[in-house]
A = this chain, B = another copy of it.
Amino acid sequence: MRDRNSGYGYCPNDEACPVEYTLDVIGGKWKGVLLYHLIEGPKRFNEFRRICPGVTQRMLTLQLRELEEDGVVHREVYKQVPPKVEYSLTDFGKTLIPIISLMKNWGETYKQSV
């Protein structure tokens, strides 16, 4: 999922790779949920932990860092005590909103049918 270089060298087909590229950005184990919650507005670290009790501290950190690296999420550190860090969607990240919304709708519609 992270081997952007090796992973996409394999597939010479220009029509196929965009889908895989998109999944590389949003397909992490928790990225979908995190992004979905960020649509509503900025969130703090422990806010995520409350919303999704299943995600560990470590995973939350890692997933947020990857989203940050991909330029999808902005990490704002407020220099104060106690520390406060806020995560929000970048403008680039906002371009993903239609996809996340569609996925949300699809999930809502078909979750019970499987």
A41 at the interface (CB under 8 A from B): no
Asked whether A13 lies within 8 Å of B51 as measured between CB atoms, the reply is: yes
Residues of B within 8 A of A109 (CB): 95
CB of A103 within 8 Å of the partner chain: yes
Check if B16 sits within 8 Å of A51, measured CB to CB.
yes
Taking CB atoms and an 8 Å cut-off, the chain A residues in 1-58 that contact chain B are 1, 7, 9-13, 15-23, 25-27, 29-30, 32-33, 35-37, 51-55
Given contacts A96-B106, A106-B95, A114-B70, contact A23 B17 (CB under 8 A): no
Inter-subunit contact B1/A54 (CB<8 Å): no
A17 partner residues in chain B, CB cutoff 8 A:
33, 107, 111
Of B21, B52, B108, the residue contacting A10 (CB under 8 A) is: B52
Given A103-B99, A114-B70, A114-B71: A33 touches B52 (CB 8 Å cut-off)? no
The 10 closest A-B pairs by CB, nearest first: A10-B54, A18-B107, A22-B103, A19-B32, A21-B107, A22-B107, A27-B27, A18-B108, A23-B32, A19-B36
